Amino acid sequence: MSLTILFMPESAYGPTNNSAGIGDILRRRGHRVVFAAEASWKGKLEALGFEEDLVDLAPPAEEEQDPGQFWKDFIRDTAPEYRKSTREQLETVTAPIWKELIDGAKYCEPQLKEIIERVQPDVIVEDNVLTFPALLTAGKKFVRIVSCNPLEVRGEGIPPVFSGLPAADRAEWDAFRAEYDRTHREMWTAWNEWCVEQGTEPLPELDFIHEGDLNLYVYPELLDYVDARPLGANWHRLDSSVRETDEDFELPFERNEGASLVYFSLGSLGSADVGLMQRVIDVLGTTPHQYVVSMGPLHEEIKLAGNMWGAEFLPQTKIIPQCDLVITHGGNNTTTEALHFGKPMILLPLFWDQYDNAQRVHELGYGVRLSTYTFTDEELTGALDRLLGDEEMRAKLAAAGEEIRRRDGLRRAADLIEELGRS
């Protein structure tokens, strides 16, 4: 039985790429896959074989925008706040992001109702961090995907989300949660009331999103928190969800004998901090290794060293397998993709769940978390030498990557969505 499946991902590369990867498997199985993505993605998803029925999250811009341009601008404008602690960021970064997300959800609510009426989906799949009431009140089977760190699904036995605090030390947990309550309670209460007015059930306490009939989260078992925070029967882990839509990639330079190859990316949003990008590049340029650099939207303002090659956009899932190590901001996609291919990481978190991923990788010994804006040259080069020289850890990661790939989270997600749609 062919299904009609409507995806609505957050307007950022991570969730959209994740949804596209799963949607591509479903499309190839003969299902109709429609994307209610944000309007700046126009043409990008159609090129991958999907139908587009797009939404505006704010009054349309006069000029055509790059995909996710709003969030690139937002991140650039708030970049000075990333130098603050995660607790301080709750008021100056995290809460403003929630506000922008809420404003977008309210703005597009009538558009979503019209899209659902046109598309008549059997299943609605949302990869986002907050509820869009129209997706829940349509009377369709609803799937929630968590493609951020799974601390998003709260529990007493795990660190508070967005904190970057260690799992083994609870000393600061309560203070962080109290500050989250102080900075978010009023906004959450108003959001909950509005969602209920649209016809949804009340939200869980201080959560901005409801559970689905089916809930999927992307995180490998070797990093997961499930022992400390068991999840219900309608929750399923995808050890990875690595899209197969990226084009093939061949290195455009010769590998130097004995040199390691490192991939450096701060993501489509983090790369907008040109000063940080240049700082890292200048240090890496002093090392004997070779680098592939994802330069991002402001690539023309970034100067690469002689041991580097880079471009604005790169097919990350085809580059990481060829590399020995990944330097990343700790976004969930890059973190899980690095582990999917069994690669150690150096993590430079900026905001949101990036601190949680960086801390988790660091505390379990699969990489090194550095202080993003205050690391010394020696800390970065020392982390490179230590991780590249740790043969035992690299072998362990390689074996873990083989197991993650065997579990094939991409097709498991498609299977579960199909089962829900046909049940």
Q: Which residues contact 366 (CB under 8 A, 6 or more apart)?
A: 222, 223, 339, 344, 345, 393, 397
Q: What's the confidence (pLDDT) of residue 79?
A: 76
One domain, residues 92 and 139: yes
One domain, residues 128 and 166: yes
- Looking at the domain assignment, is residue 355 inside a domain? yes
Distance CA 254, CA 295 (A): 20
Distance CA 247, CA 270 (A): 23
Q: What's the confidence (pLDDT) of residue 396?
A: 96
Distance CA 241, CA 91 (A): 32
Q: What's the confidence (pLDDT) of residue 1?
A: 82
- Looking at the domain assignment, is residue 23 inside a domain? yes
- Characterize 399-414 residue by residue with b for buried, 16 or more Cβ atoms within 10 angstroms of its Cβ, and e for exposed: ebbeebeebbbbebbb
Strands across the sheet containing 123-127: 51-52, 32-35, 4-9, 123-127, 141-146, 214-218, 235-238
- Retrieve residue 241's tokens: 């969800």
Q: Name which of 23, 139, 122 is nearest 420 in CA terms.
A: 122
One domain, residues 28 and 116: yes
Q: What's the confidence (pLDDT) of residue 68?
A: 56
Residue 313 CB coordination number (10 Å):
12
- Looking at the domain assignment, is residue 157 inside a domain? yes
One domain, residues 290 and 236: no
pTM recorded for the entire structure: 0.92
- Looking at the domain assignment, is residue 284 inside a domain? yes
One domain, residues 31 and 166: yes
Contact 49, 245 (CB under 8 A): no
Task: Show pLDDT as tens, one digit a residue, over the chain (423 residues).
Answer: 899 999 999 988 889 989 999 999 999 999 999 999 998 889 999 999 999 999 998 887 777 766 656 666 776 777 788 889 999 999 999 999 999 999 999 999 999 999 999 999 999 999 999 999 999 999 999 999 999 999 999 888 999 999 999 999 999 999 999 999 999 999 999 999 999 999 999 999 999 999 999 999 999 999 999 889 889 999 999 999 988 888 899 999 999 998 999 999 998 778 888 889 999 999 999 999 999 999 988 788 899 999 999 998 899 999 999 999 999 999 999 999 999 999 999 999 999 999 999 999 999 999 999 999 999 999 999 999 999 999 999 999 999 999 999 999 999 999 999 999 998
306 lies in which domain range?
261-406
One domain, residues 228 and 175: yes
One domain, residues 265 and 222: no
Distance CA 350, CA 85 (A): 10
One domain, residues 417 and 383: no
- Looking at the domain assignment, is residue 255 inside a domain? no
Using CA atoms of 148, 152, 153, 159 in order, give the dihedral in degrees to the nearest 10.
120
- Characterize 77-101 residue by residue with b for buried, 16 or more Cβ atoms within 10 angstroms of its Cβ, and e for exposed: ebbebbeeebbebbbebbbebbeeb
One domain, residues 181 and 233: yes
Distance CA 402, CA 39 (A): 37
Query: Which residue reads 């900026």 in tokens?
Result: 350
Using CA atoms of 277, 281, 343, 252 in order, give the dihedral in degrees to the nearest 10.
110
Contact 48, 20 (CB under 8 A): yes
Q: What is the CATH number of the domain that holds 127?
A: 3.40.50.2000
User: ∠ CA(242), CA(243), CA(246), 5° rounding?
Assistant: 125
Q: Name which of 210, 202, 271, 212 is nearest 236 in CA terms.
A: 212
Domain count of the chain? 2
One domain, residues 271 and 225: no
One domain, residues 158 and 270: no
- Looking at the domain assignment, is residue 189 inside a domain? yes
One domain, residues 277 and 229: no
Contact 33, 50 (CB under 8 A): yes
- Looking at the domain assignment, is residue 253 inside a domain? no
- Looking at the domain assignment, is residue 247 inside a domain? no
